[in-house]
Homo-oligomer: A and B are copies of this chain.
Amino acid sequence: MADLETLTPTRRARGGGGAARRAARTAVVIETEKYIERNIPNFEVLTEEALQIIEHNAETVLEEIGVNFPDNPRALDLWRAAGADIDGDRVRIPRGLARELIKTAPSKFTQHARNPEKNVEIGGNSMVLAPVYGPPFVRDLDGGRRYATMDDFNKIVKLTYMSKYLHHSGGTVCEPTDVAVNKRHLDMLYAHMTLTDKPFMGSVTAPERAQDSVNMCNILFGEDFVQENTVMTSLININSPMVFDDIMMGAMEVYAKNNQACIISPFIVGGAMAPVSVAGTLTQVLAEALAGIAYNQLVRPGAPVIMGAFVASIDMNSGAPTFGTPEASKILYGAGQLARRLNLPFRSGGSLCGSKLPDAQAAYETANTLNAALLGGVNFCLHAAGWLEGGLVSSLEKLVMDADQLGVLHSMAKGVDVSENAQALDAIREVGPGGHYLGCAHTQANFKNSFWRSDVLDYKPFETWADDGSKDTVELANAKVKKMLSDYVQPPIDPEIDEKLRAYVQARKDSEPDAFG
């Protein structure tokens, strides 16, 4: 940590007078809670017998059916050397081999932020919350639904920076469709590196873009620091069922070789990319995760890695993916149990919903998923805020609404205090039958920290609320979005580093023509 304190640009920048003044000016506004450390048990839906059946079947899948690593001779060579049976692209993994290979993966790791106060621990009883990832559209009350641009991207990064309960800046918080496909990762990375001081994710859409991510981190953190520490956690989706495509694997290889963390995540719409049953889907999730994580460890033993499970159901009437469903929750709970038995950090959950609007449907589905994520032991929660319309849309208002609800998770995770003060026996004595607690000494001493309080939702008396325009949650959140963006002040960064980042981005942009689509 001593190294980090002298190395990180934030610390250096804070020495400057202008930076110090800016820091003082923003001190009131920007508060980030520490990542969640659970002091409550995990909820477990699978019995020991069910776990053993699923684990046994997953090994059967790997051994008998196998997985595909197309167009990836590097992977096939590594697998062959490790003892797998190679047949074309197909890799059949003897029973127990993948499980043995993943033993080198750490059960917990630290992802460093440029502001070391915002480093996060991923694994064990921790829960780290990151915003929505991937939507090509954005929606807000003012502009409606539209293709996302870099301006929207920057807004979401700023809102995330300003959100107390989001610990992580995420990655592709929306797809900035106004920047060429082969260059937008550079602008996105620059935004995460300069508009916020929270940890972030790297690009995964091509191996060379992963390398750009590493190169830019070398500028931001210093090359030695990057090689010795995890400064990015990136999302490697498996092309379910059981295909590990070359582009994602290529990006993963870059990250693993550079000691950077990957989430190896089956991406499943149950009924389409996995069986319609919970047990069948969990079997496939486990088989895919075992194969992907084992390959990650073959590339670099000891590389930090997270077992992911992104699972939606399918609506058999419309074919649409559905979220916040009981089946998705059961799979989340079950996958968490399987990950813990592998001693791996676990990624799942989020503000998942299928609704087109940030309405009651969106909130029911989101709350169902977030409650399961907390109780199911999720360590890294991507999409924790702002997801809308099955992941097609990033909603500015929903980002702020969801981020506020994440406060509920923080408070739940603390469990129940049974200290003498919390027992409050003196208060019960003081007040007695028929009395009132509002004025008693215990209430006066404790009320400020006793109850979690929303910073978005309406708690007004009906008449006041009506006089204020009878606003619904989206309207309240819209005002909050505007206030946050107006209050936003960029966290200080060493101008020299900033200049080097800009130069890198420009040079890479100049090196090839724009590609779209």
Question: Which residues of A line the B interface, CB within 8 A?
Answer: 40-41, 43-46, 49-50, 53-54, 57, 60-61, 64-68, 90, 145, 239, 241-243, 270-280, 282-284, 313-318, 320, 322, 324-327, 329-330, 334, 354-368, 371-372, 375, 389, 392, 398, 401, 405, 408-412, 415-418, 421-425, 427-429, 431-438, 442-443, 446-448, 450-454, 457-462, 465-466, 470, 472-474
Contact A360 B277 (CB under 8 A): no
Q: Given A392-B462, A425-B61, A460-B320 in contact, is the A271-B450 Cβ separation under 8 Å?
A: yes
With A41-B43, A275-B442 given, name 17 new contacts (CB 8 A). Answer: A41-B44, A241-B432, A241-B437, A242-B434, A273-B437, A277-B424, A279-B416, A279-B424, A322-B451, A324-B408, A326-B408, A327-B451, A334-B416, A356-B458, A359-B363, A371-B372, A392-B462
Copies of this protein in the assembly total 2
**Across-interface contacts of A283 in B (CB, < 8 A):** 423-425, 428
Given known pairs A61-B428, A315-B453, the reply for A276 and B446 (CB within 8 Å) is: yes
- A272: which B residues are within 8 A, CB to CB? 436-438
In the assembled complex, which residues on chain B have CB atoms less than 8 Å from the CB atom of A392? 462
Within the assembled complex, what's the spacing in Å between the Cα atoms of A453 and B276?
Answer: 13
User: Which are the 10 A-B pairs with shortest beta-carbon distances?
Assistant: A280-B424, A367-B367, A363-B363, A275-B424, A326-B411, A276-B450, A242-B433, A360-B363, A360-B473, A68-B433
State which of B282, B360, B451 has its C-beta within 8 Å of the C-beta of A360. B360
Query: Cβ of A43 and Cβ of B448 under 8 Å apart?
Result: no
Evaluate whether A447 and B276 lie within 8 angstroms (CB atoms) in the complex, with A326-B412, A424-B283, A433-B243 already known: yes
Q: Which residue of the partner chain, among B145, B325, B389, B411, contacts A327 with CB atoms under 8 Å?
A: B411
- What's the Cα separation between A90 and B434 when bound, in Å? 11
